[in-house]
Amino acid sequence: TEACLKAIEGADALGAFVHKTPEIALEQAKAADARIKAGDAPAMCGLPIGVKDLFCTKGVPSQAASAILEGFTPEYESTVTSQLFGAGAVMLGKLNMDEFAMGSSNENTCYGPAVNPWKRTGDDAKLTPGGSSGGSASAVAADLCLAATGTDTGGSIRQPAAFTGITGIKPTYGRCSRWGIVAYASSLDQAGPMTKDVRDAAIMLQAMCGHDPKDSTSADLPVPDFEAMLTGDIRGKTIGIPKEYRVEGMPEEISKLWDDGAKMLADAGAKIVEISLPHTKYALPAYYVIAPAEASSNLARYDGVRYGHRAKLSQGEGINDMYEKTRAEGFGLEVQRRIMVGTYVLSAGFYDAYYNRARKVRTLIKKDFEDAFAAGVDAILAPATPSSAFGIGEMKTADPVQMYLQDVFTVTLNLAGLPGVAVPTGLDSKGLPLGLQLIGRPWEEGDLLNTAYALE
């Protein structure tokens, strides 16, 4: 813990930690020492971690990287962080992210962007660690903490993991409780671990998940011992290669990485088959209707009364002015854009054309996966991202769709509720990490992690 705290002090330029909690960390570390001495050390005893700013942490500012939550210090602890502390984890502080988890570059944040510790060979440009869990990815990759929590609504664990050469798993929807995590799109949001390798991911996921009566969508299912399932034996498994993911213009390097990954799994005894997930091309548009729709409803609660920031009013202004000014001042531009899109697709005249249509597409996407699994596929292998990390400011927000295209491989499985893991499997010609993604059957994170283990 002391070594991490020291590393964090020297790494302000990365912008990863946005609230540091050294007192809490040292106190928790002491308690962990005592437990170890007493011979009662749980799985994560004394392990220093960072926590994404989206998680409510008792007595510690939790802002979801938004100016609208300035000054908000929760009176309660999210279920996931409370379970992690119960398992002995030590909290070093809160981590940067895209505001309300909306973004793929950690540039939409009230704290200023998080920076990727990796650089292109021979080029000093600052690169993004991806998003929205960019601070988590940057902190783990730079050895500021041993692991971090992330959340994944449409790729926010897997894309930053791939951009920084670390491992991240988005579990099955319902595996981890969402209680106490600031909501973005409630039918898609899931928490998950971001770690240095697959074994750490298995151990941390174990501590994070389980049934919680405070989240009605949390599954009342036993949690297997994920670490014990890491045998590395994947003989006889069938791995599907979805032909629709071979998108036009896919860089040669990504396509080679994908082929190499398939070969590695084949060498380990898996059977590789080409599969079709015919509705894949509709996933991105469906996601960018459903996620903003849910966000526009979830974010209605930030009204200047219940949480955080409230705008100053001039003489003669009333409650409506207060709402308007507070929200205009407090929400960043991307969040405002999502609220407008979401409100539009839910409005009476457009509900059927957009929101209902997107929900139908979502059902078809889910069915694509169900059909593949019913045909005997155990896991699906695909790239995690269409490129390696890009530069900060490079994908600028004049055309938000450019940024949305980053999520082309990641959003699909959120719509289907499935687990997905990103593992680093190589470097590109610029010396930057690239990751592959494995998508698994619902509730079979153990098997999925074991297949990922074979790719490591």
CA-CA distances (angstroms) from residue 301 to 69, 70, 119, 218, 341?
11, 15, 40, 23, 17
The contact mask relative to ligand GLN for 428-447 (x = CB under 6 A, - = no) is --------------------
**Cβ closer to ligand GLN: 184 or 302?**
184
When binding is defined by CB under 6 A, the residue of 291, 416, 438, 455 that contacts ligand GLN is 291
CA-CA distances (angstroms) from residue 67 to 2, 31, 244?
31, 34, 40
The contact mask relative to ligand GLN for 343-382 (x = CB under 6 A, - = no) is ----------------------------------------
- DSSP for residue 186: T
Tell me how far apart the alpha carbons of residues 48 and 89 are, in angstroms, rounded to a whole number.
6
Contact (Cβ atoms closer than 8 angstroms) between residue 15 and residue 113? yes
- Based on the residue annotation, tell me whether 132 is a catalytic residue of this protein: yes
Q: Which of 66, 82, 105, 132 is catalytic?
A: 132
H helix or E strand, kind and range, residue 84: helix 79-86
Q: Which of 66, 82, 136, 156 is catalytic?
A: 156
- Smallest separation (angstroms) from ligand GLN to the CB of 175: 16
**Cβ closer to ligand GLN: 407 or 444?**
407
Q: Which range in 42-50, 149-157, 193-201, 444-452 contacts ligand GLN by CB under 6 A?
A: 149-157
HSE-CB of 285 using CA atoms within 13 angstroms = 12
Tell me how far apart the alpha carbons of residues 227 and 195 are, in angstroms, rounded to a whole number.
14
Map the footprint of ligand GLN across residues 165-194, applying CB under 6 A: 184
- Smallest separation (angstroms) from ligand GLN to the CB of 151: 6
Closest by CA to 279, choosing from 307, 226, 312, 243, is 243
H helix or E strand, kind and range, residue 23: helix 22-37
When binding is defined by CB under 6 A, the residue of 21, 62, 156, 298 that contacts ligand GLN is 156
Tell me how far apart the alpha carbons of residues 109 and 134 are, in angstroms, rounded to a whole number.
10
**Cβ closer to ligand GLN: 104 or 412?**
104
Tell me how far apart the alpha carbons of residues 184 and 191 are, in angstroms, rounded to a whole number.
12
- Based on the residue annotation, tell me whether 196 is a catalytic residue of this protein: no
104 binds ligand GLN (CB under 6 A): yes
407 binds ligand GLN (CB under 6 A): yes
Rounded to 10 deg, the angle between the 445-455 and 252-267 helix axes is 110
- Smallest separation (angstroms) from ligand GLN to the CB of 423: 18
Q: How far is CA 49 from the centre of its chain?
A: 16
**Cβ closer to ligand GLN: 52 or 310?**
52
Contact (Cβ atoms closer than 8 angstroms) between residue 111 and residue 66? no
Q: What are the counts of helices (DSSP H) followed by strands (DSSP E) for the chain?
A: 14, 11
- Based on the residue annotation, tell me whether 156 is a catalytic residue of this protein: yes
103 binds ligand GLN (CB under 6 A): yes
Residues 119-132: b if buried by 16+ CB within 10 A, e if exposed: bbeeeeeebbbbbb
Q: Which residue's CB comes closest to ligand GLN?
A: 156
When binding is defined by CB under 6 A, the residue of 152, 212, 294, 444 that contacts ligand GLN is 152
- Smallest separation (angstroms) from ligand GLN to the CB of 406: 7
326 binds ligand GLN (CB under 6 A): no
Return residues touching ligand GLN (CB under 6 A): 101-104, 132, 151-156, 184, 291, 407
Active site residues: 52, 132, 156
